[in-house]
Amino acid sequence: MIESILEKEIPTKEDLVSMLKAEGPEMDRLFKKSMAVKEQYVQNKVYFRGLIEFSNICRKDCLYCGIRKSNTKVHRYDIADEEILKAAQFAYENHFGSVVLQSGEQKSSVFTRRITRLLDGMDKLSGGKLRVTLSCGEQSRDTYRKWFEHGAARYLLRIETSNRDLYSKLHPNDSLHNFEERLKCLYDLKDLGYQTGSGVMIGLPFQSYESLAEDLLWMQAFDLDMIGMGPYLEHEDTPLYAFRNLLLPQQKRFELALKMVAALRILMKDVNIAAATALQAIHKLGREKAIKIGANVIMPNITPGEFRDDYHLYHNKPCTDENPEDCKSCLEMRVGLAGNHIAYDEWGDSIHYQKRVKS
């Protein structure tokens, strides 16, 4: 019965729910279809984005997030600008083509200026050849504009869920955690000309299959260029941990996340879909599995410190660093096993975006 659904040009919400509920051979058929769509529309090509998580200082208190402001157990860090630029240099020299600067949410004129300086620095070190994505939370339109003018081409801001009720269950009910504000930021980003990325968490407490199908339709209606979504992982130092008895087992959440990726690839054929790091927390080869069935972006963590020493930075000696999950040669091999290859020295703007700006 899934065959007739997979043959449809435009899947309905009910069709998407069926895809998300597919099990066993039906799930295999879904994956076969999404693999074919991927090959046809974006080829079996994977783009690397070097991920620099430069600070975990956050002013927000999302109920699911380990680095929420109220979690006093977290050791807060903020990497020095020179170190951040060194990591960007590493990405550039290793032909990644693109980096993502991610942090907890900070909002101040000092922070705005700092990011602006970092953008200038990255532009300088690469002669404008490094594509920079920012993921620094909700900011004013003016701040977003300033960063765009200084070379940030893409922005990631997950909606977390497109369902207002669920959103309010996942966040404190105050003005800092406002669904409408999050939406406004996304509209601002798109309007200012950013390649706009968003996404959701999958397998949250209180989340239904219908709600996930609506998330997919929301992504389509918003006309996103990039999507990152991964399984929700319960964190013991957060309030949402109290609802862990409502969760699907991790393996099922993992499968559900893969089915979301597959359904999205079928729905939005030419967008960039990231293989979320959270997949890897459940399954060692989680990201590669997502690549196989529809994702086309991997964000290796190149955050200094938990990364490699200078020697390794420049000599790319295989299998010696502490972070084999994100070692370049290791990833090359695993992506190859998933039937894909890495596109080096390409910006990898989503085909969807390229078409959107042309039209």
**Minimum distance from residue 169 beta carbon to ligand 5AD (Å):** 14
Angle at 197 between CA 212 and CA 170, to 5 degrees: 45
DSSP string, 124-191: HHHTT-SEEEEE-----HHHHHHHHHTTEEEEE---B-S-HHHHHHHS-SSTTS-HHHHHHHHHHHHH
Instruction: Identify what 217 binds: ligand 5AD, ligand FES, none; CB under 5 to 8 Å per kind.
Output: none
Strand partners, 298: 48
Name which of residues 93 to 112 contact ligand FES (CB under 6 A).
Answer: none
Closest residue (Cβ) to ligand FES? Answer: 327
How many positions of this chain bind ligand 5AD (CB under 6 A)?
A: 10
Nearest to 87 by CA among 72, 98, 73: 98
The contact pattern for ligand 5AD, residues 198-227, with x = CB under 6 A and - = no contact, is ---x--------------------------
Instruction: Assess 30 for contact with ligand FES (CB under 6 A).
Output: no
Residue 150's binding partner among ligand 5AD, ligand FES, none (Cβ under 5 to 8 angstroms by kind) is none
- Binding to ligand FES (CB under 6 A): which residues in 284-343? 318-319, 321, 324, 327, 329-330
> Whole-angstrom Cα distance, residue 64 to residue 73?
15
Q: Which helix (H) or strand (E) holds 356?
A: helix 351-358
To ligand FES, the closest distance from the beta carbon of 344 in angstroms equals 16
Cβ–Cβ < 8 Å for 269, 37: yes
Counting runs of H as helices and runs of E as strands, what totals does the chain give?
A: 15, 11
Q: Is 65 an interacting residue with respect to ligand 5AD (CB under 6 A)?
A: yes
- Contact positions with ligand 5AD (CB under 6 A) in 308-337: none
40 binds, among ligand 5AD, ligand FES, none (CB under 5 to 8 A by kind): none
The kind and range of the H/E element at 241 are none
158 binds, among ligand 5AD, ligand FES, none (CB under 5 to 8 A by kind): ligand 5AD
Q: Quick one: which of 220, 219, 221, 246 has its CA closest to 232? A: 246
Binding mask 260-299 for ligand 5AD (x = CB under 6 A): ------------------x---------------------
Under the criterion CB under 6 A, does residue 232 sit at the interface with ligand 5AD?
yes
Token look-up 């070190």 returns: 125
Task: Report the candidate in 291, 323, 318 with the shortest Cα–Cα distance to residue 307.
Answer: 323
Q: Which residues bind ligand FES (CB under 6 A)?
A: 318-319, 321, 324, 327, 329-330
Q: Which residues bind ligand 5AD (CB under 6 A)?
A: 64-65, 158, 160, 201, 230, 232-233, 235, 278
